[in-house]
Structure 1
């Protein structure tokens, strides 16, 4: 449980585990861990978390063993989230739990798999990885004796769903990206100890996890792209956000091997963005002056953010990365192959019910077409990259070559 010192050290607007809205199933108190620490531990010990080791971040496994996977990305996000939360006197344990769970709903082959599932499931509301992450932690992880799911606290579930902001506005209309894309399917099926309040912001700890995600992949995608030979350090000067850092590193160590230059750029970029987020967020919090975590949820704005100039530079950096890395032929070829694998698997399972093991019965027991599609969605989205390839070979006697 949270000791007296740690609770006193937190800001008044931090989330306190002893004040949690609870779990669906009461677990009693622990003499050694607070409620959010227990959430973190349940996530780390879950099957879905282990599968992240074999799910694509940007570069597929055939490119080599040293590129980020969903698991290593998640660990980097968690570390950054803890650093920001500590500086802002927030609850590090809740920030860590949300960070560790934020990608549990991702498909094999990265965003390529998500795009395919969203297309295949269009008539049933599409596919959203945040909603799927909630399904993972509330329904699909079923190793406990007395309940399905991980039985996480309300605060962690809220953070998983809303770390990027509210789902709807005060009038119930789709908000943010959902105003463009429509509400994701499955919101009415969420299993939770209470209403997750789709129109409010999440806690500051969840907002910290969200911005830590951006900080992590901005930095490590550059590092991976240099390692893969898609970028050279000399390409970076002039690029918003990272350019000045690259120029400084090249001036200080012009003859240093490129991988070490890339690491120096990465660590400086992470440090610079973390420090800027902390300083700007402190100012935003002071301006709004939330009295407690409930005031954070109802203040009507995100309080953990990049400064405006850095936010614009970060958008420009993303555009540069899309043009020069994410849409590069060496990335797009495997991406398209991954899309084909996921699409063929989904179609085969849905039309023939050819799912393996217990999933075949889950599919057969579904009451209608939507239920059968949902069973296929849950099975396919949970696959690792290697298992998806094994299933493709089982069904089609063919193993795509991503090289």
Structure 2
């Protein structure tokens, strides 16, 4: 037996009957020879981690635009925290950690520069609309590897597509990532907001503190425990804990997510996205080669949307400056 076959056998012996087993995957659109060492889900995780879109997450906004401090979250650190929480839940439920991790690592690949502000700008201007979770799927299916895509398994792509709203993932592992994403962002956004002086821990209402805990660690433990102890044929929290989660989300929406202090620059960020988008729609010949190639089978809006959505915060600012900000004359 190969190492992969031994791992697949171990999954059959140790995982829950509800787990998605690697040996029973629905497979890839393009069949490939099996790896002697890694299961299909381990291979998917590795393909995601090594792709360009994953690396660009390090300079994409989570909540605070292009933060200057070293300790604010970016899309990359958010992704790592989601993965850690998701794996803890998967292990507690004896589900497939490798599938869970692969979905978690790929779930935000389609996020725009400047976070949800950039997403709203593209959704407004692109005739196709824009949803980051659908773009994440497009990235792994069509854009990575010079247009070849990553050729991931159907289970990983389904989990990525269903990680936020709308249809629920077909696997419990995919459903876990939806909860892990919520648990991660609400708690690290609190910590970042406190660091930024936007709020204090004591601002959180007492009833939420009593229900979830008065520190990040306690809240994560409460929420993760609720998922583990209450999930069966579906991933869920108990009603009381989920109500407390909704209450703290509402609190954060009012205190942080719509606060002019962290969000005051979002109008400028959206203007940057829209102006860059409009420029390249009018000048498609200036798109990089890999995005001009899209024009052979899609229209200019699709190509420009793919290009602009993939930019990091800093690269978007650089491109905007290059196009619209005049350079000083330097020849003496």
In structure 1, distance between residues paired with 2:256 and 2:82:
21
Structure 1 residues 81 and 376, CA, compared in 2 at 3 Å: closer, same or farther? same
Structure 1 residues 74 and 161, CA, compared in 2 at 3 Å: closer, same or farther? same
Which one of the candidate residues 138, 141, 165 is aligned to 1:138? 141
Which one of the candidate residues 310, 313, 318 is aligned to 1:382? 310
Moved more, 94-103 or 335-344: 335-344
Aligned counterparts, 1:28-47, within 5 A: 28-47=33-52
1:29-68 deviation digits (Å, cap 9, x = unpaired): 2121111000000000000000000000001224422100
Aligned counterparts, 1:42-61, within 5 A: 42-61=47-66
In structure 1, distance between residues paired with 2:66 and 2:169:
36
Partner residue in 2 for 1:281: 231
In structure 2, distance between residues paired with 1:395 and 1:354:
14
Contact 1:159 1:206 in 2 (8 A): yes
Structure 1 residues 361 and 61, CA, compared in 2 at 3 Å: closer, same or farther? closer
1:226-270 deviation digits (Å, cap 9, x = unpaired): 111111122124262577622xxxxxxxxxxxxxxxxxx111111
Alpha-carbon distance, 1:6 to partner: 2.8
Alpha-carbon distance, 1:8 to partner: 1.1
Contact 2:61 2:114 in 1 (8 A): yes
Contact 2:86 2:100 in 1 (8 A): yes
Contact 1:354 1:360 in 2 (8 A): no
Structure 1 residues 398 and 230, CA, compared in 2 at 3 Å: closer, same or farther? farther
Structure 1 residues 361 and 164, CA, compared in 2 at 3 Å: closer, same or farther? closer
Aligned counterparts, 1:327-338, within 5 A: 327-338=258-269
Contact 1:363 1:376 in 2 (8 A): no
Moved more, 324-333 or 33-42: 324-333
Which one of the candidate residues 205, 212, 236 is aligned to 1:305? 236
Partner residue in 2 for 1:342: 273
Which one of the candidate residues 12, 20, 27 is aligned to 2:25? 20
Which one of the candidate residues 119, 129, 132 is aligned to 2:132? 129
Secondary structure of 1:383's aligned partner: coil
Contact 1:14 1:89 in 2 (8 A): yes
Structure 1 residues 113 and 44, CA, compared in 2 at 3 Å: closer, same or farther? same
Partner residue in 2 for 1:218: 186
Which one of the candidate residues 77, 83, 97 is aligned to 2:82? 77
Alpha-carbon distance, 1:218 to partner: 1.2
Contact 2:204 2:251 in 1 (8 A): no
1:3-42 deviation digits (Å, cap 9, x = unpaired): 4223211111110111111112222121211110000000
Secondary structure of 1:217's aligned partner: helix
Structure 1 residues 99 and 360, CA, compared in 2 at 3 Å: closer, same or farther? closer
2:281 is the counterpart of 1:353:
no
Aligned counterparts, 1:3-402, within 5 A: 3-121=8-126, 124-142=127-145, 148-164=148-164, 167=167, 201-238=169-206, 240=208, 245-246=213-214, 265-282=215-232, 285=233, 303-353=234-284, 355-358=286-289, 361-362=292-293, 365=296, 371-397=299-325
In structure 2, distance between residues paired with 1:82 and 1:392:
39
> What TM-score does the superposition give when structure 2 sets the normalisation length?
0.91
Alpha-carbon distance, 1:104 to partner: 0.5
Structure 1 residues 398 and 311, CA, compared in 2 at 3 Å: closer, same or farther? farther
> What TM-score does the superposition give when structure 1 sets the normalisation length?
0.76
1:90-119 deviation digits (Å, cap 9, x = unpaired): 100000000110001110000000001001
- The unaligned stretches of length 5 or more in structure 2 are 328-332
Alpha-carbon distance, 1:378 to partner: 0.2
In structure 2, distance between residues paired with 1:373 and 1:125:
8
Contact 1:241 1:313 in 2 (8 A): no
